[in-house]
Structure 1
Amino acid sequence: MTKTVPAYQRIKNAILDNIHSGKWQAGEAISTEMALAEEFEVSRMTVNRALKELSEERVLERRQGSGTFVAQQQFNHTFVEVRNIAQDLKSANRDYQARVVSKRAITASMLDDEMRRKFGIDEAVVPSNSKAANAKNVDSYSIDSNTDSTEAAVLYEVKIIHFADGQPIQFEERWVDATKVPEFIEQDFSVVNTSDYLIAKSPLERGNYTIRALAAPDEIANALQIAPQSPTLVLRRQTYSAGRVLTFVKMWHAGDRYQFSGKL
């Protein structure tokens, strides 16, 4: 079942599309509230909500008496460059494929301590009128059947295997703030790259990562088609938008198939 996208979210998506397509450049004024209200056939209050949220996310800058402008900072040194395994493999003339293992919505009561700390979520359940509220069992994702269906999703979780020339090369475990990117879980990630989608919808301002060598637990070993406890390289990365963690990801790589390199 397809969920109706709220009007303010449609306006946000359209503004982001115009920015990322280059129609509205950094520092340029965007359409006025009145023009946007007429274009989308909504009230100025609805437009104001969209502009307010994008301003809080540092995508737009509102200037009293002058209008609303595309913020400069998201296009300068604060913008996070995130490597895309699909592009890397294709640029190396290798056949790339992705297979989605699972997708699910996670409520506050389902979180472990690590995820609470990562995303700054306390014990309180997010109210059911939030953007990601009332997620129910559908073909593309689900909430644990033991959880109250009126409890809002606070995170989305996806697990994806990335293949190079038919061989699994990376197992991706990703968690995303469901309240900031409510349509994330509905995407087909065998076609859409997770990082590309997040950057397009909520520009990343900073991030941090670690790379460790770990023995593969059973789930990871099965996904990568290697023996349990085989050596793997694990990249753990969290990226921020509007001052908050937007996504946390673990990327597992078979140690004998993958290496990290760069230029100094």
Structure 2
Amino acid sequence: MTKTIPAYQRIKNAILDNIHSGKWQAGKAISTEMALAKEFGVSRMTVNRALKELSEERVLERRQGSGTFVAQQQFNHTFVEVRNIAQDLKSANRDYQAQVVSKRAITANMLDDELRRKFGIETAEALSAHSKNDDVANSAGATVLYEVKIIHFADGQPIQFEERWVDAKKVPEFIEQDFSVVNTSDYLIAKSPLERGSYTIRALAAPEEIATFLKIAPQSPTLVLRRQTYSAGQVVTFVKMWHAGDRYQFSGEL
């Protein structure tokens, strides 16, 4: 059974949408707690939680006696350094190539639970159920994410399989790029500078589809990096990078 996104998260998402669309600009006041509570049909306590979390994420600034304002944020530089496999291979003087397996637009009713949680997106059915606005209900089937799948090669041998999802509102021209030439990470950093991110690395047995792309036997060991990165308080991209276990290693300096 599909879980409904909590009311405070819906309020956060709506505020962030207004900021990203330009309706609420940096330094300007947003709607009052009372107005937001009335708009969403919730208590002021619920609204307060949404505003508190966005303030802690440095998206909003709460001024006692004055109201809540969009924080002044200067994204002139990328705050998160995201290395990509193209950089690593070229630095190691290895020949690098990328092959795009597929690109597609995804609507809310196509999302699985993981992607819906990552991006804070409700299903088309959920949007229609709690919305009294016909325009909102009708837009529930609109594109919300872009998906690309890419095989990365080192000296002609597949070394990484990338599955990436990108917020379509924040990077509307993403799907139009030729990612056999343009690197996904480089493009996203240029279009939507990142403020923070998180990642995990796990050893997993390769499912049949992944094994085919990496040209390894099914159930062979792989290293899977899962990473999500944020811009202005929202997840802009989530990626799974599958690496053939005997061809790749993660390394760095402490």
Q: TM-score, normalised by structure 1?
A: 0.64
Partner of 1:90: 90
2:235 to 211, 234, 245: 245
Change (3 A) 1:73 1:102: closer
**What residue number does 2:178 align with?**
188
Give the TM-score of the pair, scaled to structure 2: 0.66
Query: What's the offset of the Cα at 1:154?
Result: 0.2
Residue segments in structure 2 that go unaligned for 5+ positions in a row: 1-19, 28-57, 59-71
For residues 160-190 of structure 1, give each alpha carbon's deviation from its aligned partner in whole angstroms, at most 9, with x where no partner exists.
0000000000000000001111110000000
Alignment of 1:154 onto 2:144: yes
CA distance in 1 between partners of 2:100 and 2:26 (Å): 33
Q: 1:88, CA displacement in angstroms?
A: 1.1
- Which residues of 2 match residues 1-264 of structure 1 at below 5 A? 55=26, 71-72=73-74, 75=77, 79-124=79-124, 151-264=141-254
In the alignment, is the contact (CA less than 8 A) between 1:170 and 1:251 conserved in 2?
yes
Q: Answer yes or no: is the 8 Å Cα contact 1:128–1:152 preserved in 2.
A: no
Deviation at 1:75, TM superposition (A): 3.0
Task: Could you tell me which runs of 5 or more consecutive residues in structure 1 were left unpaired when the two chains were aligned.
Answer: 1-48, 59-69, 134-149
- Look up the equivalent residue of 1:183 and give its one-letter code: E
CA contact (8 A) 2:75 2:193 kept: no
> Alpha carbons of 1:129 and 1:199: their partners in 2 closer, same or farther (altered >3 Å)?
farther
Using the aligned pairs only, state the percent identity: 80
Measured on the aligned residues, the alpha-carbon RMSD in Å equals 2.8
CA contact (8 A) 1:128 1:151 kept: no
Distance 1:53-1:75 versus aligned 2 partners, 3 A rule: farther
| Cα distance in 2, alignment partners of residues 248 and 258 from structure 1 | 21
